[in-house]
Amino acid sequence: MSDATHEHPGHPGFTFGPSALVTPANAVTVARLLAAPVYVVMLIAWGASWVNVVVGLVLAGSDGLDGYMARRHGTTRSGAFLDPLADKACVLGAMFTLAAQGHLPWLPIILITIREVGMQLYRSWVGRRGVSIPARKSAKIKTLVQDIAIGTVIIPPLAHQHGLQVAAIWFACALTLYTGAEYLLDGRRALHRPAAS
C-alpha cells in the first residue's frame, strides 16, 4: 500500500506519508551522503582550490534543496534521520581531513563531533519515546558557520590566513555546543510535557 495522500505521484497535490522511504527528497539526501567521501578525496587531492569551493557550495546548497522538496512533498521519518546524517558526513568529513592536514586544530573539531554524534543519538532516543525535536533556525545557522570555517581553508585567497581559520573553527564550535544545549532543553521539555487528552 502506498503511504501517500494521492494515488499518483505525478498529481500536483501529492504528498508522501511519514513512513515513506523512496521520495525525491530522500534521493537528494542519499546522493549527498554518497558525495561526502568523494569530497574528502577531492580535498586531499586539490586542497585549497576553486573546484573544491564550488563542490562545497553545491553540497551545502543541496541541503536546502532536499529540505524544500520534503516540505513540498511531505516530510518523512527516514528523511528526518538521513538529512542531518548527510550534513554531518559532509561537514565532519571535511573537518577531519583539514585537521589531519594541519590546517585546523583538532580540539574544536573533536568537540563538534561529540556534540553532533551525541545529538543524533539523543534525538533517536527521544524519538523512540514518541517525542520529536523540531529543527531550530539556529541549527541551520550553525551549519552555515561550520561551512564558512571550512571555506576559510579551501578558498584560495584565504588559504594562508591561519589565524582566521582558527578563529572561525572555534566560533563554529561554540555555536555548535550552544545549539546542542538548546536541543537538550527542547527534548527535556517535550519529554516532561503532559500528554494531550
Q: What is the pLDDT of residue 68?
A: 66
Q: Are 127 and 189 in contact (CB under 8 A)?
A: no
- Topology classification of domain 24-192: Four Helix Bundle (Hemerythrin (Met), subunit A) (1.20.120)
**Alpha-carbon radius of gyration of the chain:** 18
User: Which of the pair, 172 or 186, is modelled with greater confidence?
Assistant: 172
Residue ranges per structural domain of the chain: 24-192
Residue 83, exposed/middle/buried by CB under 10 A (0-12, 13-18, 19+)?
buried
What is the rounded average pLDDT for all residues in the chain?
Answer: 83
The Cα-based distances of 11 to 7, 25, 92 in angstroms read: 8, 17, 38
SS3 state at 16:
strand
User: Which of the pair, 137 or 20, is modelled with greater confidence?
Assistant: 137
Q: Does pLDDT of 196 surpass 60?
A: no
**Total-model pTM:** 0.81
Q: Does pLDDT of 6 surpass 50?
A: no
**β-sheet bridge partners, residue 16:** 4
User: Per-residue pLDDT tens for 13-26?
Assistant: 556 555 556 677 77
